[in-house]
Structures are given as structure tokens and as C-alpha cells.
Structure 1
Amino acid sequence: MSVKQNIIEITNKINESLNRRTAANITDSVKIIAVTKNQTVTAMLEAIDAGITAVGENRIQEALTKYPEITGTANCKVEWHLIGHLQTNKARLAVQYFDMIHSVDSERLVTDIDRAAAKLSKRQDILIQVNVAGEDTKYGIPPKIRDLLALVRAVSELENVRLCGLMTVAPYCDDPEAVRPFFRELYYLYNEIVSLNIARVEMKWLSMGMTNDYCVAIEEGANIVRIGTGIFGTRYY
């Protein structure tokens, strides 16, 4: 199928998943982040023309090769999301080019983001990445409410960063049902933070779910899903 047909099919599945959702305190719509790692500008523009409003890049350097051409296209308005790991020495570039950073997992990193944003007179939207499954191969803070709240409170003290929610990358499983508990746990942590009404924390987004498991993620509360293969087809390296 074409990119446009894939997006239509994904949108239909999202709506079906929303009808099955039991999670409360979450928006009734879902933002699709088109994961554009190793995708061409042509493919990205095709997705944007088909209704995609946000793209997600894993690596800053790859994003910088595409950014001028995408943003220079007439009437092409799209959000840029950094969904991959961010090194502290690249915080300035991330703030300069991305609308939202999904992968904040330490006080040191968010402090560097805050400094970079101050120099650009910007308030940078971020998500805290939580390693819910505790996988050694993935980034993110542990799913312990004490550790998470410590980072949330540290972010809330910063002038140039706005905490907008949480993100996780679930383990890959052939059966999406196997990762449902991880999504459910992140939703629980999200609600714990919301219930505290911490000043200057604007919990809005729960970013979880990818091509293989986004329907289950939505049922468990996700309102951002990150989809690459489902939109563009198999990715070749």
C-alpha cells in the first residue's frame, strides 16, 4: 500500500483502539509521530501531504540533513520531535531544531537543555523517558515513583523547560499483549504525577506504542504513538 493508504489504515485502527480505551484523564485524540529514521525527504513529504503533522527523528545529525528541505517546502508545517537518546553535548542543537524532546532521563541533561533554551529565548517542551521494563539496552530512568518525582521536581524549577508528559520504549514482542503491563505501569506513573498538581508541570502527553503495539498502547492511555514501518514500510539500513 502507499504511504497515504497506510496512514488511513493506522488512523482507523487508532479510532478503534480509542473506542476500547478504559484509561481516564487522557485526551480523546492521538497524535501520530511519523518515525523518519533512514527515510528520504520525498517519503517524508508524502506522509506530510497525507496528513502527518509531526515527524520523529532518532539522530540529530540525520535530522539536520532533512530539516532545511522540509521546512523550505511551501506550506509545509510540521512539528519536529527528537525521539532518540540525546547526549548532553548536543543539547543546544536539539533545542534549536526540535519542538519536543522525548528522551530526557537525567537532571544533568535537562539542565543543559534549560541553558541552551535560555540562550535561544525559548521554553523547550520535553518528555521524561522511563525505562519501564528495566532493559539494560534502553535509556530512561527506572520506573520508581521516588526517582521519577525527583526528576519531575527538578524540571519544575527550571525557567526554560516545560515538562509535558512521559515516554517509554516497550520491549519488542511478537504478541503486543505481552507489553500491555508496561504501558499500564507508565499510565499509573503519569497519573501519580498529575495528581500532585506540581507547579509549572503541564502533563499532557503519554508517548508510548510503536508499529507493533500502538493499538494496545492507546487502549492503556497513550496519546502519542511513534510509527515508522507502519507508515513507510520496511526500513532498510
Structure 2
Amino acid sequence: MSIESSIRHIEHQLAGRADLVAVTKTKPVALLQQAYEAGCRRFGENRVQEMAEKQPQLPADVRWHQIGHLQTNKVKYIAPFVSLIESVDSLKLLEEIDRQARKHDRIIDCLLQVYIADEETKFGLLPEEVIDLLQSPELDKLSNIRVIGLMGIATNTDDDAQIRQEFKSLKQLFDALRPVERPNVAITELSMGMSSDYLIAVEEGSTMVRVGSAIFGSRQV
């Protein structure tokens, strides 16, 4: 199946219920261009350096998402152009994003990554830590970031029931936080679901799915 056909198929399945983020890590710019020509405008990268190298080679209306673990010392490289940082897992990281965004007179949208998987290798905040962060007085000092939702990665398992329960728990947290009112918080986006589980994620309320191999084929490490 071609990249264009794959994108059409996925968009048909999503049926407008969630936005598609094409996960482009390790993929050459030529394949990203094909996805762009097929209508994709949201590209997700894991590595800062890779995103920074690809960004100037593609049209300016691409919305770049940082979806991998982000170190504070790497924020400066993507601050000029990144559209959404999906992997915020600490107040310290939010503060650095705010500092770098201010240098470029930008407001950078962010998602708080929530730990929902039964795997020690995953990153993220515990639900109670998310609540504490959103109630922190320190948050009011950050005028160049906006927390617009949550992101989570389910356990890498063939057990659909477990995956569904993990997504369901994240959706419950999302719903509980939606009424939060702060100048730089507007909880509207729930990013969950990848190539292997995006249909379950959408059924459980995801507004954004991150799909790579189902578009481009198996990636090279």
C-alpha cells in the first residue's frame, strides 16, 4: 500500500474523530514529502536533532510535534518552530520550554505525558503528579507555554483489554481536568494511540493519534 493510500485508509477509519500525526522518525525527507502531498500536515519526531534537520527541508505549514522524551538542554533547538510538545513530564521542563519560547516571542503548546503503561521503560507523570502540576502556583509564572491536554502510551502488549483499560483511565483523568481554568491551561486534546492500537484509542476518546509504521512501514532503528 502506498503512503497516500495508507493515509487515506487511516483517515477513513478515524472519520474525523481524531487528528492524524504522522510519526516520521528515521524516515527520509522524501517520504515525508510524499505524506505532505497526501495531505498530512502534522509530523511527529522522537529526536530533537532529527526534527531540527528535517524542518527547513519541508514546507513551512508543517506542524511539528515532539513526541519523544525531551531533555531540557535540547529545547532550544526546536523552540523556534515546534508546534506541540507532547512529552512534557515535569515542571522543570515546562519552565525551560517557557524560557526558550520567550526568546522567540512564541507561545508553545504542550501536552503532559501521563504514565499509564505496565512498563518501567515508559516516561510520564503519575495522575496525582499531573494534578499537582496543574495546581502549582509556579505555573502562573509561565506566560509562553500553554498546556492543552494529555498524552499517554499504552503497554506494548497483544492484550486489547489491558490497552483499552489504560486508555480508559487516561480519558477519565482528561475528563476530570477539563474544567481546570488557568490563563495558560486549556485541556482540549488527548493524544493516545499508535499504529498498533489507534482504533482502540479513538473508541476510548482520543483526539489525536500518532501513527508511523501503518503509514511508512516498519521503521529502521
The corresponding residue for 2:130 is 148
User: Runs in 1 of length 4+ with deviation above 6 angstroms?
Assistant: none
What are the ranges of 5 or more consecutive residues in structure 2 without an aligned counterpart?
none
| 1:31-180 pair list within 5 angstroms | 31-71=19-59, 77-133=61-117, 135-144=119-128, 147-154=129-136, 156-157=139-140, 158-180=142-164
- Give 1:22's aligned residue: none
> Following the alignment from structure 1 to structure 2, what is the Cα–Cα distance between the partners of residues 111 and 135?
27
- SS of the residue corresponding to residue 172 of structure 2 reads helix
1:7-54 deviation line (CA, Å, top 9, x unaligned): 111112212xxxxxxxxxxxx631100000110111001011111110
The match for 2:219 is: 235
Residue identity opposite 1:178 in structure 2: Q
Amino acid at match of 1:153: Q
Describe the superposition over 1:144-163 as per-residue Cα deviations: whole angstroms up to 9, x where unpaired.
3xx21111234741111100
Letter in 2 for 1:149: I
In the alignment, residue 14 of structure 1 is paired with which amino acid? L
CA deviation vs aligned residue, 1:77-107 (integer Å, no higher than 9, x gap): 2100000010011122232231110000101
Q: Is the 8 A contact 1:156 1:163 kept in 2?
A: no
For the 8 Å contact 1:124–1:161, the answer to whether it is kept is: yes
Give the AA of the match of 2:173.
L
* Percent identity of paired positions between Structure 1 and Structure 2: 39
Kindly state the Cα deviation for residue 199 of structure 1 after the two structures are TM-superposed.
Answer: 4.2
Note the C-alpha offset of 1:200: 3.1
SS of match in other structure, 2:205: coil
Which amino acid counterpart does residue 29 of structure 1 have in structure 2? R
Contact 1:129 1:168 in 2 (8 A): yes
Aligned match of 2:174: 190
* Larger relative contact order (CA 8 Å, sep ≥ 6): 1
Larger displacement relative to structure 2 (191-200 or 43-52): 191-200
Q: TM-score, normalised by structure 1?
A: 0.88
- CA-atom RMSD, angstroms? 1.5
Matched residue pairs, number? 219
2:180–2:186: 8 Å Cα contact kept in structure 1?
A: no
Q: Which amino acid aligns with 1:148?
A: V
After TM superposition, the score normalised by the length of structure 2 is: 0.94
Q: Distance in 2 between matches of 1:82 and 1:200?
A: 19
Moved more, 151-160 or 218-227: 151-160
